[in-house]
Structure 1
Amino acid sequence: MTSSASNLLNPVAGPVELTRQLCNIASVSGDERGIADAVEAVLRDHAPHLTVTRDGDTLIARTELGRDRRVALAGHLDTVPINENLPVRNETDPETGDAVIWGRGTVDMKAGVAVQLALAVELTQPAVDLTWIWYDHEEVASELSGLGRAMRNHPELFGADFAILGEPSNGTIEGGCNGTLRARVTMRGKRAHSARSWMGENAIHRAGALLAKLDVFTPERITVDGLEYREGLNAVRIEGGVAGNVIPDHVSFDVNYRFAPSRSAEEAIAYVREFFAGADEVEIVDLAAGARPGLDDPLAQGFVAAVGETPTAKLGWTDVARFSALGIPAVNFGPGNPLLAHADDERVPIRQIEASMRSLRDWLTATS
């Protein structure tokens, strides 16, 4: 931790100003050391009630109050690349008229981190024991995840009865998440001169039937524990061809399957293989299971009541799935419109930051 890090963040300034301060520490994936140092300095200087462990650029801070139940609250420190959208600035949202903070990371997800960090300092006697987690490398390949790494390196620190991930959700609860699978579908043929095409077999033409099948495919809507998840199966990349006068002998296309958390990873694989049964090869290149909502847990029900709005399904994949894999019910909850995540005009309403802070504070000090 660098000595200058202790001057970058002021946790008692409130979550709105803390959002600005966090966002103005550039932390594109792979460059999280500076922001991790600053968060650690806050914990060391302002939160003596927390036991702090650092794993790379991931921080785990825990209360040890002997409460009957424990809640984990997590948020990632990294962002996608900056595109002339730092430092942040105050604006009025052109669509809603809300006062907003504009700039990279405001939505995904430093406003959520600001709320968590402010509460981590403030709540010295919460009603449940708390584990606060801020981690690196979320916006890149899954195998680089700081959360996954810390879970492997320190499994003893991740036991909890319920988890909240600060992903943007417009300040409402989004339960669970879809799973995601990526497969490479390959069709083969035989090369020939295009002037004598009958001597070959066109792999691109062979792929046409499968692409046409995708084009008319209607994804399912599946209700899981009272929340409706929308599935999706789409071609996202294609490559093939040899030259302008050669019949191609190979074509492959990548498909992304977003599947409801009622399906296991194995069921998702079987579904995709059956759908593309006419292909010469179907290679699974990426796979992450989803997470059921977990809203039947008493802690979750109490949190729903504290937020005061009807939960909806998280349609993308998030790290709630990592908690779910440990048997911990988990939800997404944070300020910011998820549709603005990664956008160059990323912006978070100040009222959502303040409301998220109130909801979490009220619940964490009243729940039992």
Structure 2
Amino acid sequence: MPTLDLFADPVELTSALIDIESPSHHETAIADAVYEALSAIEGIELIRHNNTVIARTHFGRDQRVILAGHVDTVPLAGNTPHRLHDGILYGCGSVDMKSGLACYLGAFARWATSRAAAHDMTLIAYEAEEVSSEYNGLHHLERDYPELLQGDIALLGEPSGAIVEAGCQGSIRVIVSARGTRAHSARSWLGHNAAHDLAGVLSRVAAYQPRSVEIAGCEYREGLNVVGLSGFVATNTIPDEAQLIINFRFAPDRSVEEAKAHLVEALALEDDLDMEWDDIAPAAMPGLDHPVAARLLEAVGGDYRAKFGWTDVARFSTLGIPAVNFGPGDPGFAHKKDEQCPVEQIRRVADTLHTYLAAR
């Protein structure tokens, strides 16, 4: 079993985590290593649920901070083991999100050992974030052991450029379908072109004017886009079936029901079209007005911005727990073959966490 030193330099710990290959559904080795490393810390509660590892302190502090990060990556692309060059750490998971996980593991280990933390802490290293929600380790905890997710604030180590990215957009994906009659394109009048029936909704989506909204000093931008089209039979055939896949990204001032109602109004579907709700994920409010969040903002020098895209902060938000994204690296490099993270940002996040968690 690979051995992890949780007290090592965070860049070294990130490198060690990268070298434990852990694409989704293959997280056993990394979960074993994380569990073994945490088991050396005396006086903590340590739990393993499948390939999700939870560690908790019980110092009796007034507030509890959750430090959460996923252990899985997207499929490998010949980008392990790690490589360090000119201050940049390369490798699968380097930015999404083994660097953030390393910072959180190191911070938890340091302050759980010293017992001098300002807050009680819960560390959650969870499986299957990169795949369908039904496999997500946080989803399993929310369903089976919701008490383990309780806290005053949750920090997720998703890449955020080493500043706080607050809240997140919600996302709704729908499939709009049309049905016609197949015919030879030379005798098109004998058929009915399903693809043409989608022209109206396609035009309305293209003409849609998304809004921007400011919440707690964060600007969230919405978007309505066609992300998939299908309807091909053959180059000489009128298609009898056609589909559009449409994605609506909405700001956190909309509830799921409000976002659904707005989407239905915006699409204004003709009666002969069918719509299927394919995926729905709620948004998360920034949560920056909580006193524990204020201390984090102080530790990062007051820098924060809105989070574009969906992250697991939304799971905590639905439980009434303010949550933010805080991790090293540019999310634009996530899932890429040349995935990378600046070592300066890894050390900066680690130092900020130590400042934030230290008792005053």
TM-score scaled by structure 1? Answer: 0.93
SS in 1 for 2:7: helix
**Aligned counterpart in structure 2 of residue 66 of structure 1, from 40, 54, 60:** 60
State whether residues 185 and 276 of structure 1, in contact with CA within 8 Å, keep that contact through their aligned partners in structure 2.
no
State whether residues 22 and 110 of structure 1, in contact with CA within 8 Å, keep that contact through their aligned partners in structure 2.
yes
Question: Does the C-alpha gap of structure 1 residues 76 and 277 become closer, same or farther in structure 2, counting only changes over 3 Å?
Answer: same
State whether residues 172 and 307 of structure 1, in contact with CA within 8 Å, keep that contact through their aligned partners in structure 2.
yes
Report the equivalent of 2:278. Answer: 285
SS in 1 for 2:24: coil
Aligned ranges for residues 89-168 of structure 1 at < 5 Å?
A: 89-92=83-86, 99-124=87-112, 125=115, 126-168=117-159
Shift, 1:221, TM fit: 1.2
Tell me the percent identity: 48
Matched, 1:32 2:27: yes
Shift, 1:273, TM fit: 1.7
Shift, 1:266, TM fit: 1.0
Matched, 1:251 2:245: no
Matched, 1:44 2:70: no
Equivalents in 1 of 2:153, 2:269: separation in Å?
A: 44
Aligned ranges for residues 1-368 of structure 1 at < 5 Å?
A: 4-5=1-2, 8-45=3-40, 47-92=41-86, 99-124=87-112, 125=115, 126-279=117-270, 280-366=273-359
State whether residues 166 and 323 of structure 2, in contact with CA within 8 Å, keep that contact through their aligned partners in structure 1.
yes
Between 199-208 and 287-296, the greater mean CA deviation after superposition: 199-208
Equivalents in 2 of 1:123, 1:49: separation in Å?
A: 12
Equivalents in 1 of 2:161, 2:267: separation in Å?
A: 37
Shift, 1:53, TM fit: 0.6
Deviation string, structure 1 residues 318-356 (Cα, Å, up to 9, x no partner): 000001111100000001111111111111111111111
Q: Please, which runs of 5 or more residues in structure 1 have no aligned partner?
A: 93-98
Shift, 1:162, TM fit: 0.7
**Structure 2 letter corresponding to 1:172:** I
Deviation string, structure 1 residues 61-107 (Cα, Å, up to 9, x no partner): 00001111111110000000111111111112xxxxxx111111110
**Structure 1 letter corresponding to 2:89:** I
Q: Please, which runs of 5 or more residues in structure 2 have no aligned partner?
A: none
State whether residues 205 and 267 of structure 2, in contact with CA within 8 Å, keep that contact through their aligned partners in structure 1.
no
Equivalents in 1 of 2:169, 2:228: separation in Å?
A: 21
Shift, 1:29, TM fit: 0.3
Question: Does the C-alpha gap of structure 1 residues 309 and 340 become closer, same or farther in structure 2, counting only changes over 3 Å?
Answer: farther
**Structure 1 letter corresponding to 2:177:** T
What is the aligned-residue RMSD (CA, Å)? 1.3
